[in-house]
Amino acid sequence: MNTLPRAVDLGVIGCQVCGLVCRNVPGDTQWGGDGVDDVMACPRCGSTLHRRKANSYARTWALLIAGFILYIPANVLPIMRTASLNDIDDNTIISGVVELWVKGSPDLAVIVFAASIVVPMLKFLALSMLLVSSQRGSDWARPQRAKLYRLVEFVGYWSMLDVFVVSLLTALVRFSVLSRVEPLPGVIFFGLTVVLTMLASISFDPRLIWDGRNTDD
Amino acid sequence: MTEDSHVEQGQPPRDELPRPVVKQRRFKESLMIWLVPVLAALVGLSLVIHNWMQAGPQITISFQSAEGLDAGKTPVKYKNVVIGKVKKIRLSADRSHVLVEVALEKSAEGFATKGTRYWVVRPRIGLGGVSGIDTLFSGVFIGADVGESNQPQDEFVALEAPPAVNHGARGRSFVLHSDDLGSLDVGSPVYYRRIQVGRVASYALDKDGKGVSVRIFVDGPNDHFVTRSSRFWNASGVNLSVGANGLKLNTQSLATVLAGGVAFQDPPGPHDSTPAPGNAIFNLFGDKDTAMAPPDGEPHYIRMRFQQSERGLAVDAPVEFLGINIGKVVSVRLDYDEKTQKFPVLVGAVVYPQRLGSAYEKLEAMAEARGEKPALSRMLGRLIAHGLRAQARSGNLLTGQLYVSLDFVPHAAKVAFDPGARPLTIPTAPGSFDKLQEQLAEIVDKLDKVPFDSIGKHLDQSLAALNATLKQVNGQTLPAFNDTLHGVQTTLGSANEAFSGDSPLRRNLSATLEQVQRMARSLRVLTDYLGSHPEALLRGRRADPPPTPLAPPHQPSQPKSGSKP
């Protein structure tokens, strides 16, 4: 348990947009609502106020699971077709990495591997860990978990790298018969996975990390 | 909005924090968010189901080699439509061939049935042409051709070469029987009036090994040109014939010269021209002439016994009756006659009496009219009685090829003929050429005795001597002759000088001639005088008469008296 008091303990609520702190006591019905399930707005900037992001666990879990489900076809289906004069090559993410490595670009292979395999997996693992630990109200290594969340948010943008590579190549390599790159369904699933995991990390409320076992959310 | 609450509640104290605005009750969305993973799961599931639905049968094709095949890439195509893909390539357990696992598409289930054929399409350059060039760029693929059966099968043995005929192609196939294959091959063209209308689909030895069955396929709509009486012949290669009409070169096309081919045509004259049914059986003749010849009818074996050497008489040499080819020689063997201690030649031949046409029919009719059995042996007996003899004649003076001619020999000695004997033996007569040959041989013998060797040697020696002589003439005689010529030339020069107009010789000569003239004149005077005074020979000259007074100078007698001999 954290010794520092939380906003809810003090009966206040902060606006995440403009930073205004308002008086709000859960269960206080004198303002018209029940103080728990009402949608409250900041009196200054009008943005929605919430003590914790609404339904954060369920949303994050749902989006994370959806992202993970779509991650399977994203890896199984080929994402890119490289057609040259006498050869048509369909590549999945893994086979592309292997090909890059074998054909003598280990640096590129590492980058693609990191962006397409490591980052999404890291996000799945980190978010799952954060969710589980927060739901259990664990107080284990809270500052590190908060750091981890920030890391997840930061690397989230980079996993779109593969999608960018495919779309760039598709646009650039168009020499009709000689050589041509076409996107294949796998890249759509991969893009969806990235979007869903980003949404999942947004819907996770990092303040939950600091909530103890006896919180009311 | 805030004013409302503030009016109701009054102005809060200065240190009091502002109150948030309550908008409305929260919408319960806790369950709605789970639609997202459900949707994702549905999408994933649909992919799996789609894949499962799309997955067709898995088949295994065994190849001799996996050359050009690529697991995960090489497609299987039917009529150039992809119907499957190679999944895996592995060796068979005994390592004798390659097993290729192919995943067919769902729509191509019909290709996993008995009778379907698979083969690898590669660029092929053959005598008949070039095929599969596109695979140079796109890589090889496996071609497929579905059969008729519906019986499922999942293990196939690939063909080594593409089949000549695809299943379901319009047209009909026929079977040709031949003694040998010639230069035909699968895919060799079939020509009708020199237009390619089909090709050889397959060939196989007959079960007894005594012939070859060639299956050909004639494409529609030209297949109806194959009638019940069509004749097929092997149009392979070049048919070069030298005849009385000159040199004749027969080919179907350049391709057949190299790759062989079959041609067919209906025989001339009336014939059954209903289209032949599929799989009808025909004979494949060696060449067009044989194919177009009228049917030969029953063959008869005859034997001839020649007393002299028959060099140049080979098997397949023609047997002619009065210039008409009625058969061919099938055997030439040597026999030994103990009585005469000679080696006669036994020539066996097969003759087709029906080739004689109407003559044979008339002979048959006559024989029947006489009440005899119209047997060849009896007819031959009658002909032999009229002087029919077999002769070996020279067909070609250059090559010395002989043929057997059945001809009537005038004043032929009577020979006994046994019509019951088998085989029928036809008496022979020495051919005119045989005599000619003997005489020629004699001439050659005589020529042989001429000592060309010593003649040559002598000639050689004479030539050597002549050579030496000529050398001498060249070296010695000719320079001397040259000198002589010089001498002659100077002589002629001086002669020329001597005879020139002002030379002393010339002058002397003319003086001498003048004197001779004078002498002749005085001699004439003398003879004149003696003529008129013959006595002067005895008495001498008379005294001159006294001189007359001066006479005029024109007195004619004056010159006479004025001269003396």
Domain extent for B225: 171-292
B→A contacts (Cβ < 8 Å), by residue, are 2, 5, 9, 16-26, 29-30, 33-37, 39-41, 43-44, 47, 73, 136-139
Identify the pLDDT of residue B489.
93
**pLDDT over 90 percentage in chain A:** 1
Q: What is the mean pLDDT of residues A116-125?
A: 88
pLDDT band at B519; cut points 50, 70, 90: very high
Give the count of domains, chain B. 3
Residues of A in contact with B24 (CB under 8 A): 38-39
Q: Do A37 and B25 touch (CB under 8 A)?
A: yes
Given 3-state DSSP classes, what are the helix, strand and coil percentages for chain A, each rounded to the nearest 5?
A: 55, 15, 30
Q: Do B20 and A54 touch (CB under 8 A)?
A: no
How far apart are alpha carbons A127 and A149 in whole angstroms? 8
- A8 touching B, CB under 8 A? no
Q: Is residue B487 part of a domain?
A: no
Identify the pLDDT of residue A216.
43
Which residue out of B4, B11, B15, B23 would a mutagenesis test of the A interface target, given it has the greatest number of A Cβ atoms within 10 Å? Answer: B23
- Whether residue B141 is found in the same domain as residue B184: no
- Which of B101, B132, B157 is the C-terminal boundary of a domain? B157
Q: Do B21 and A37 touch (CB under 8 A)?
A: no
- Residue A2 predicted with pLDDT over 70: no
* Closest-approach residue (CA) in chain B for A51: B20
- Whether residue B147 is found in the same domain as residue B195: no
Residues of B in contact with A14 (CB under 8 A): none
- Residue B7 predicted with pLDDT over 70: no
- Residue B563 predicted with pLDDT over 50: no
- Whether residue B422 is found in the same domain as residue B331: yes
Q: H or E stretch including A212? A: none
- Nearest CA-CA distance, residue B71 and chain A, Å: 12
Point out the residue among A38, A73, A86 whose CB comes nearest to the CB of B47. Answer: A73
How far apart are alpha carbons B63 and B98 in whole angstroms? 5
**pLDDT over 90 percentage in chain B:** 10
Point out the residue among B5, B43, B139 whose CB comes nearest to the CB of A87. Answer: B139
- Whether residue B259 is found in the same domain as residue B310: no
What is the CB neighbour count within 10 angstroms for residue B57?
19
Residues of A in contact with B73 (CB under 8 A): 88-89
- Residue B43 predicted with pLDDT over 60: yes
- A99 touching B, CB under 8 A? no
Of A206 and A121, more confident:
A121
Least confident segment among A7-16, A17-26, B180-189, B542-551: B542-551
Q: Is residue B138 part of a domain?
A: yes
Contact A118, A194 (CB under 8 A): no
CATH code, A55-210: 1.20.140
Identify the pLDDT of residue B463.
94
Identify the pLDDT of residue B1.
42
Q: DSSP state, B180? A: S
Q: Do A38 and B40 touch (CB under 8 A)?
A: no
Q: Do B30 and A21 touch (CB under 8 A)?
A: no
Q: What is the mean pLDDT of residues B466-488?
A: 90
- Residue B4 predicted with pLDDT over 70: no
* Closest-approach residue (CA) in chain B for A46: B21
How far apart are alpha carbons B379 and B351 in whole angstroms? 14
Q: Do A69 and B139 touch (CB under 8 A)?
A: no
pLDDT band at B487; cut points 50, 70, 90: very high
CB-count exposure of residue B334 (10 Å: 0-12, 13-18, 19+):
exposed
Q: What is the mean pLDDT of residues B295-317?
A: 80
Q: Do A58 and B36 touch (CB under 8 A)?
A: no
Identify the pLDDT of residue B105.
85
Q: Is residue B342 part of a domain?
A: yes
Q: Do B40 and A59 touch (CB under 8 A)?
A: no
Point out the residue among B18, B30, B138 whose CB comes nearest to the CB of A55. Answer: B30
Residues of B in contact with A33 (CB under 8 A): 22, 25
**pLDDT over 70 percentage in chain B:** 86
Of B508 and B416, more confident:
B508
pLDDT band at B522; cut points 50, 70, 90: very high
Please list, residue by residue across B401-420, b when 16 or more beta carbons sit within 10 angstroms of its beta carbon and e when fewer do: ebbbbbbebeeeeeeebeee
Which one of A99-103, B6-10, B547-551 scores highest in mean pLDDT? A99-103
**What is the tens place of the pLDDT at every residue in A5-42?**
777 777 778 888 888 888 776 665 555 555 556 677 78
Q: What is the mean pLDDT of residues B48-77?
A: 85
As a whole number, the mean pLDDT across chain B is 81
Please list, residue by residue across B259-297, b when 16 or more beta carbons sit within 10 angstroms of its beta carbon and e when fewer do: bbbbbbbbeeeeeeeeebeeebebebbebbeebeeeeee
Identify the pLDDT of residue A215.
45
Residues of B in contact with A86 (CB under 8 A): 136-139
- Whether residue B137 is found in the same domain as residue B181: no
Which residue out of A10, A40, A69 would a mutagenesis test of the B interface target, given it has the greatest number of B Cβ atoms within 10 Å? Answer: A69
Close Cβ partners of B138 (under 8 Å, ≥ 6 residues apart):
A86
Residue-wise DSSP of A34-66? -SSSEEEE-TTT--EE-SS-TTHHHHHHHHHHH
- Whether residue B260 is found in the same domain as residue B308: no
**What is the tens place of the pLDDT at every residue in A172-194?**
888 877 788 888 888 888 888 88
Q: How many CB pairs under 8 A join A and B?
A: 100
How far apart are alpha carbons B329 and B393 in whole angstroms? 13
Tell me which residue of B334, B326, B319 sits closest to B363, measured CA to CA. B326
- Which of B396, B418, B445 is the C-terminal boundary of a domain? B445
Domain-by-domain residue ranges, chain A? 1-51, 55-210
- Residue B352 predicted with pLDDT over 50: yes
* Closest-approach residue (CA) in chain B for A192: B40
Q: Do A86 and B136 touch (CB under 8 A)?
A: yes
pLDDT band at B515; cut points 50, 70, 90: very high
Contact B200, B243 (CB under 8 A): no
- Whether residue B146 is found in the same domain as residue B210: no
- Which of B292, B320, B348 is the C-terminal boundary of a domain? B292
Q: Is residue B109 part of a domain?
A: yes
Q: What is the mean pLDDT of residues B299-308?
A: 84
* Closest-approach residue (CA) in chain B for A77: B47
Least confident segment among B44-48, B361-365, B541-545: B541-545
Identify the pLDDT of residue A103.
85
Point out the residue among B23, B47, B138 whose CB comes nearest to the CB of A39. Answer: B23
How far apart are alpha carbons B479 and B472 in whole angstroms? 11
- Residue A52 predicted with pLDDT over 60: yes
**What is the tens place of the pLDDT at every residue in A62-112?**
889 999 998 988 888 888 888 877 677 788 888 888 988 898 888 888 988
Q: Which two tokens stand for residue B92?
A: 């068979």
Identify the pLDDT of residue A5.
75
- Whether residue B323 is found in the same domain as residue B234: no
How far apart are alpha carbons B262 and B284 in whole angstroms? 8
Q: Is residue B274 part of a domain?
A: yes
Least confident segment among B19-28, B96-105, B185-194, B496-505: B19-28
pLDDT band at B467; cut points 50, 70, 90: very high
Given 3-state DSSP classes, what are the helix, strand and coil percentages for chain B, each rounded to the nearest 5?
A: 35, 30, 40
Interface of A with B in 9-48 (CB under 8 A): 12-13, 20-24, 30-33, 37-44
Residues of B in contact with A30 (CB under 8 A): 9
Looking at the DSSP bridge assignments, the partners of residue B328 are B318, B350
Point out the residue among A22, A41, A67 whose CB comes nearest to the CB of B23. Answer: A41
Identify the pLDDT of residue B553.
57
Point out the residue among B24, B29, B43 whose CB comes nearest to the CB of A55. Answer: B29
Point out the residue among A39, A62, A72 whose CB comes nearest to the CB of B36. Answer: A62
- Nearest CA-CA distance, residue B11 and chain A, Å: 13
